[in-house]
Amino acid sequence: MKISARNQFKGTVVEVTKGATTSHVKIDIGGQVVTASITNAAVDELGLEKGKAAIAMIKASDVLVAVE
Amino acid sequence: MKISARNQFKGTVVEVTKGATTSHVKIDIGGQVVTASITNAAVDELGLEKGKAAIAMIKASDVLVAVE
Amino acid sequence: MKISARNQFKGTVVEVTKGATTSHVKIDIGGQVVTASITNAAVDELGLEKGKAAIAMIKASDVLVAVE
Amino acid sequence: MKISARNQFKGTVVEVTKGATTSHVKIDIGGQVVTASITNAAVDELGLEKGKAAIAMIKASDVLVAVE
Amino acid sequence: MKISARNQFKGTVVEVTKGATTSHVKIDIGGQVVTASITNAAVDELGLEKGKAAIAMIKASDVLVAVE
Amino acid sequence: MKISARNQFKGTVVEVTKGATTSHVKIDIGGQVVTASITNAAVDELGLEKGKAAIAMIKASDVLVAVE
């Protein structure tokens, strides 16, 4: 499957924190850690847990840029 | 300044492509390249150009997760 | 590949309109038509054109609800 | 009222799951079911409950496209 | 019509800039100006032009917070 | 620090509601109140509480426009 998202970073799940309806999933993409806020249903369906290989995907229109 | 965005990756601009109203900016964050789609006005205001230091910021709720 | 997006609708591309950097892609998902605004680069990479099978994906946190 | 969102699908609420601050609302739009993640406050204000007519709205820039 | 978006600000269109597929619309909401990036099709359908009354709507999950 | 977000409104936090993983923060930006849905971790890191000065930031591509 190919996805239109310009940003696709392969990594490993390092933490899953479940809330009432929303979970936070941290994925180590090689030195950097990406945090995703997704539904509990998605966490269960994808079987996300510490150590599992996963890809973080971000649409280009959702990225902001800052300069110091 | 501190921003609520959970994902903040420091890097260097490697490419800026301007469209009619929207630009695509590529930022190398250390091996990985993040693509941002932002307004031309923002590109001008931040002085974004190849070689400039920049930070890619992404809200956790804008990250999707995939597994193979 | 499994994606966390709660909304995944299979359909057929019915229209692709390319802009300077951003394209609009219309996908018929069975009576309903979904419009996606994605980068020209994604359109090229996925080979999107009229008649091609495609899936529209939307994160649950990007859906608004209205009542009349 | 007219809204700029390119995607507006009329349907019927089939499920509302309330969390601590965030609810998940499922809307049947005619064969397809759309899941929305919205605030509890919005659920209360709109009186969303099973069986109520509702419209799912999605901005074109929030739609991803995939091909198999 | 009632919309789930937590942020709805009434104002007046002060500028419309059309691109190839995407327009930028500025709305004065009473001292503050909100910039929206929407499709050209939406601008045409809503008849947006300088001086027209309009409402800027933003989902709570799309707002970032910063402190100095 | 300069951020690409076209919408940056200075104000004062008037309410913080914490959920299991997600908080809702209301910021008075001078007559108007903006509601942000951000992670609990961000609330803690930024020290957000009633009375604190804060800036609401919104990307132009996340703003919808409505007309009556």
What does pTM read for this prediction? 0.95
Q: Enumerate the residues of chain F whose CB falls inside 8 A of the CB of residue B59.
A: 38
Q: Are strands A22-28 and B53-58 parallel, antiparallel or unpaired?
A: unpaired
pLDDT tens digits along F3-58: 999 999 999 999 999 998 899 999 999 989 999 999 999 999 999 999 999 999 99
8 A C-beta contact, residue C39 and residue A4: yes
The answer to whether residue B43 sits within a structural domain is yes
Cβ-based interface (< 8 Å): residues of E facing F? 3, 5-9, 24-25, 27, 29-32, 34-38, 42, 46-48, 52-68
**Predicted ipTM of the assembly:** 0.95
Which residues of chain E fall short of a pLDDT of 50? none
Q: What is the pLDDT of residue E9?
A: 98
* Nearest Cβ partner for A21 among D19, D62, D68: D19
Top residue of D4, D8, D16 to mutate, by most chain E CBs within 10 Å, is D4
Name the nearest CA neighbour of D65 among C56, A1, A58.
Answer: C56
Give me the CATH number covering residue D26: 2.40.50.100
Residue B54 Cα distances to B8, B34, E26, angstroms: 10, 11, 26
Q: How many CB pairs under 8 A join C and D?
A: 118
In a domain, F55, yes or no: yes
Query: Between chains, do C63 and D57 touch, taking CB under 8 Å as contact?
Result: yes
Residues of A in contact with B67 (CB under 8 A): 46-48, 52-55
* Chain C residue numbers touching B61 (CB-CB < 8 A): 59, 61
Report pLDDT for B31.
Answer: 83
Which pLDDT score, from 0 to 100, does residue C68 have?
A: 94
Residues of chain C with pLDDT under 70: none
Q: Residues near B4 by Cβ (< 8 Å), separated by ≥ 6?
A: B59, E64, E65, E66, F36, F38, F39, F42, F43, F45, F46
- Whether residues A4 and D37 touch (CB distance < 8 A) is answered with no
CB–CB contact D24 A21 (8 Å): yes
pLDDT of residue E11: 98
D20 domain-assigned: yes
- Measured between alpha carbons, how far is residue E6 from residues A62, C8, C38 in Å? 19, 25, 26
State residue B52's pLDDT score.
98
C2-3 vs B64-67, strand pairing mode? antiparallel
Are B61 and F6 in contact (CB < 8 Å)?
Answer: no
Question: Would D45 be classed as within a structural domain?
Answer: yes
Question: Taking Cα atoms as reference points, which of B63, A12, C22 lies closest to residue E39?
Answer: C22
Task: Give the per-residue pLDDT at C22.
Answer: 92
pLDDT tens figures, B10-29? 999 999 999 988 999 999 99
**List of chains touching F (3+ CB pairs within 8 A):** A, B, D, E
CA-wise closest residue to F54 among F8, F18, F23: F8
pLDDT of D31 reads: 84
Extended strands (E) in E1-68: 2-3, 7-18, 22-28, 33-39, 53-58, 64-67
Chain B residue set in contact with E, beta carbons under 8 Å: 1-5, 19-22, 39, 41, 57, 59, 61
Residue pLDDT, tens place only, D23-63: 999 999 998 999 999 999 999 999 999 999 999 999 999 99
Q: Nearest chain D Cα to A42, which residue?
A: D35
Range of the domain at A45: 7-62
Q: What is the mean pLDDT of chain E?
A: 97
Asked, for residue A1, whether it belongs to a domain, the answer is: no
The number of domains in chain A is 1
> Is residue D12 domain-resident?
yes
Nearest neighbour of F1 by CB, restricted to B1, B5, B43? B1
Q: What is the pLDDT of residue F4?
A: 98
- For F61, which DSSP code? G
- A7-57 pLDDT, tens per residue? 999 999 999 999 988 999 999 999 899 999 999 999 999 999 999 999 999
Residue F44 lies in a domain: yes
In the chain, the amino acid numbered C29 is: I
Question: Which of F20, F22, F64 faces D5 most closely, judged by CB atoms?
Answer: F64
- Give the closest residue to D52 by CA, choosing from D1, D18, D11: D11
Name the minimum distance, in Å, from the CA of B41 to any CA of chain C: 15
Using an 8 Å CB-CB cutoff, list chain C residues near A19.
none
Whether E64 is in a domain gets the answer no
Q: How many CB pairs under 8 A join A and D?
A: 37
**Euclidean distance between CA atoms A51 and A34, whole angstroms:** 14
Residue F37 has a pLDDT of 96
